Amino acid sequence: MFARERTGNEDQRGVSIIVPRPGSGSHLTVRVKRPAERRSSSRSATRALDLLELFGRAQRPLRAIEISRALEMHSSTTNQLLKTMVDSAHLVFDARAKTYLPSPRLTEFSAWIVESYGADGRLRKLVEELHAQTGLVVTVTTPNDLFMQIVDAEIPGIPGDERLPERGLQVSIFGSAIGSAYLSTLEDDAVLRIAHRARIGEEDMRSLVDMAHRIRDEGFAEGPAAMDERTWSLAMPLPAQGLHVPAVLGLAGPSGVLKPRLDELANLMRDAVARWFGS
């Protein structure tokens, strides 16, 4: 089911090149966790961060009704959130214009974010550019324990379609294309440490390392998506020098669309990464 060694001039594009989850027998056993499945008493904190992100996208003061619509919150919930954030001095309120905006209290935090990820919003622009070129799902993921988590994405499709990914969604590192691309950036001992934590048997360790080497040589991982067996994924690590955290760029879409265009799409991804990260 997983990648085979090439023989002669055999074309193996469209054959899964991902680190398998040993003993699973199928990529469908890859675990997927949606943000809604991890709800807790910290929901209000998440809403506050969503609000700050909204200000970052809008780049202007916002009225309460605009915030309610954008974040799909009831007006009473929005008003309580805004009151709390104004009381804590994270937001300021312009009574004449009836608008809210982040306060100077967040200046040092904002400066650190810019230092870490760049002032040009390169990750967002990379995602938007690839989506415009391909019309496919584009994601940026980072490792979170034994999972890869989507931190940014452009996602076409029908709202509410449960097969589609979303920001915050987590997918197992082992058995996924995005996780395999991440593993390919690590030294062998680091791959083995993660495999031990995932309780993978000793008899499977060598094959994991070998596949990580192959992905490193190929420059990308590919394989069936965890969300839907009819979907194929293509993933490659982003340059470490451009970011303060490890990150993987992913592309996903219907197998019949993506698999015949693997080389073309991989080149599009490489070119886009080179434009925004200079490598």
**Eight-state DSSP code of residue 145:** T
Residue 103: exposure state from Cβ atoms within 10 A (0-12, 13-18, ≥19): middle
Cα 211 from Cα 221, distance rounded (Å): 10
Q: Are residues 94 and 171 in the same domain?
A: no
Asked if the structure places residue 264 within a domain, the reply is yes
With both helix axes pointing from N to C terminus, report the angle between 75-87 and 64-71 in degrees, rounded to the nearest 10.
Answer: 120
Residue 148 lies in a domain: yes
**Which residue range(s) make up the domain with 56?**
43-110
Q: Are residues 147 and 258 in the same domain?
A: yes
Looking at the domain assignment, is residue 12 inside a domain?
Answer: no
Same domain, 34 and 48: no
> Do 225 and 140 belong together in one domain?
yes
Last residue of a domain, one of 110, 136, 159: 110
Q: Is residue 98 located within the same domain as residue 123?
A: no
Task: Specify if 13 maps to a domain.
Answer: no
Residue 100, class by beta-carbon neighbours within 10 Å (0-12 exposed, 13-18 middle, 19+ buried)? buried
Whether 166 and 253 share a structural domain: yes
The C-alpha angle 137, 244, 214, rounded to 5 degrees, equals 60
Residue pair 157/2 in contact (Cβ under 8 Å)? The answer is: no
Structure tokens at 128: 């938007």
CB 152 within 8 A of CB 178: no
Decide if 22 is inside a domain: no
H/E element, 251: strand 248-254
CATH of the domain at 33: 3.30.450.40
Weakly modelled stretches of the chain, pLDDT under 70: 1-29, 36-42, 118-120, 157-164, 226-227, 242, 279
What pTM, to 2 d.p., does this model score? 0.77
Of 60, 79, 110, the position where a domain reaches its end is: 110
User: Considering 84, 110, 136, which residue would you say is the last residue of a domain?
Assistant: 110
Q: Are both 122 and 257 inside the same structural domain?
A: yes
Domain identity same for 263 and 167: yes
Instruction: Take residue 137 and report the two structure tokens written for it.
Output: 């799902």
Same domain? For 245 and 196 the reply is yes
Q: What is the pLDDT of residues 234-252, one digit of tens each?
A: 999 998 776 778 999 999 9
For residue 4, the model assigns a pLDDT of: 31
pLDDT value of position 17? 65
pLDDT digits (tens, 9 = 90+) for 18-67: 665 544 444 336 777 777 655 554 678 889 999 999 998 899 999 999 99
5 lies in some domain: no
Give the full edge-to-edge strand order of the sheet including 147-154.
32-33, 170-172, 147-154, 137-144, 248-254, 231-237, 221-224
d(CA 191, CA 210): 11
149 part of a folded domain: yes
- Overall domain count for the chain: 2
CA 2 vs. chain centroid, Å, equals 23
